[in-house]
Amino acid sequence: MQYKLPDETLMLQDTVKRFVDKELIPLETQLPERPNSYELPQELHLDLTGKIHEMGLTARETPEDAGGAGLGPLDNCIITEQVHRSTAGCGVFSATFASMLYELGTEEQKNKYMVPSVKGEFHGSSAFSEPVAGGDMAGIQTTIEEKDGGWVINGNKCWIFKANTARFILVLTRLKGTKRHDGMQWVIVDADTPGFKVGREQKMIHGQNTYELFFDNCWVNKDQLLGKPGEAWSSGTDYLFSGRIQIAARAMGIADRCLEMAIDYAKIRHTFGKPLSSRQAIQWMIADSAIELHTCRLMVYDAALRAQEGEKVFIQTAMAKIYATEMVAKIVDRAMQIHGAAGLSDETILERCYRDIRPMRIYEGTSEAMRSMIAKDLLR
């Protein structure tokens, strides 16, 4: 890969970093306690999303002719990394699903859902996880069948972010009677569609709760199908690959901030008449963290650049997600150890980071599932 980032990417990185340092980090003390502790007060949220729109960073991967930023996977990865240096970042830089709508949607669907999403008028959500199917996307059981001039959906989903406020849901279903990879279908379900219900809130360890979704003879017209009937497997896996790079980038952002905090604290905290930074045990913790973060960046940027150049990145994204999510756990843990009791309290962001990073080894495919897929590919 090209190990030196392009000048335009470095400029973008610097712009977002300055925005995070100036606008987001000072707001971390205003984040609420759980649940949904990513959510800033509404007035602040609207102000920040407006600034993000002015920067041209809404719908980052959606082409410019559709109102997006037109950025590739590498630039998008760089932005995500910088944004997640702050615990306030997740709540204001959220997915619009505009890219999927751009690639698969009809002109009517784009005008109805994509354009307003890009403008920030409302947001959507996506739903493919089920009680019986998480990382095994081909195992979904929610069905869709043609009936009465439209389509009827039956089944349920779980662990769905922002479903309670979404104007629409992109739901992954399968044509009734099909199995595994065959017959998978995306469908757009409006929040007020009869037969569709947002169920209980699922309280999570980190800062954003999820929701159950239920579809009971939920009828939608034929114009709500997204993409060609039965061909959602390819777009669904592309969505997962992109999501794995994004999770890895989030992990790097959190790791970078925690390493920075560990270094700063080690310099000012004294024990037995000397700064912590003079202790070999602390020095080695910081050195190990720096080595692992640098290694991770090379791996994640490589996967993002390969994706940008059109390569198949099934293995690279799995490797990047495994390494990044396990790397950040070690770096956050070391930072907490260096801070001592202060690292366990809400006087720093470390305890929040500790909770935020744990789900990363589960979402978008568990570390164990990723390792099995890598091994299967190598041993075939």
Give me 56's structure tokens.
């041209």
CB 93 within 8 A of CB 45: no
Q: Which of 83-87, 234-238, 250-254, 343-347 has the lowest mean pLDDT?
A: 234-238
User: What's this model's pTM, rounded to 2 decimal places?
Assistant: 0.90
Cβ atoms of 92 and 45 closer than 8 Å: yes
The 10s digit of each residue's pLDDT in 143-171 is 999 999 999 999 999 999 889 989 999 99
Q: Check whether 69 has a pLDDT greater than 60.
A: yes
Please give the residue that has the higher pLDDT: either 120 or 112: 112
Lowest mean pLDDT among 32-41, 191-200, 340-349: 32-41
Architecture of domain 124-231: Beta Barrel (2.40)
pLDDT of 190 above 60: yes
Question: Which DSSP string corresponds to 159-216?
Answer: EEETTTT-SEEEEEEEETT--TTTTEEEEEEETT-TTEEEEEEE--SSS--EEEEEEE
Residue 285 is predicted with a pLDDT of: 98
Here the tokens at position 77 are 């990865």
Looking at residue 139, its pLDDT comes to: 84
Q: Delimit the domains of the chain by residue range.
A: 7-119, 124-231, 233-379
Active site includes 108? no
Any alpha helices (H) in 224-346, and if so which ranges?
232-268, 280-308, 314-339, 341-344
Round the average pLDDT of the chain to a whole number and report it: 89
- The pLDDT score that the predictor gives to residue 231 is 73
**Span 232-280, pLDDT tens digits:** 877 667 777 788 999 999 999 999 999 999 999 999 999 999 999 999 9
Q: 326 pLDDT band (50/70/90 cuts)? A: very high
Q: What is the 3-state secondary structure (H, E, C) of 114-163?
A: HHHHHHCCCCEEEECCECCECCCHHHCCCEEEEECCEEEEEEEEEEEECC
Q: What is the CATH number of domain 233-379?
A: 1.20.140.10
- pLDDT confidence of residue 236: 64
The rounded percent of the chain whose pLDDT value lies above 90 is 61
pLDDT tier at 94, thresholds 50, 70, 90: low
pLDDT tens digits for range 27-53: 888 776 655 555 667 677 777 877 887
Please name the residues in contact with 265: beta carbons below 8 A apart, sequence gap of 6 or more.
276, 338, 339, 342
pLDDT confidence of residue 264: 98
Q: Say what the pLDDT of residue 267 is.
A: 98
Q: Which of 3.90.1150.10, 1.10.540.10, 2.40.50.140, 3.10.580.10 is the CATH number of 7-119?
A: 1.10.540.10
What percent of the chain clears pLDDT 70, i.e. is strictly above it?
A: 93
Q: Which of 103, 108, 364, 368 is catalytic?
A: 364
Do the domains 233-379 and 7-119 match in fold?
no
Q: Partners of 201 in the beta sheet?
A: 211
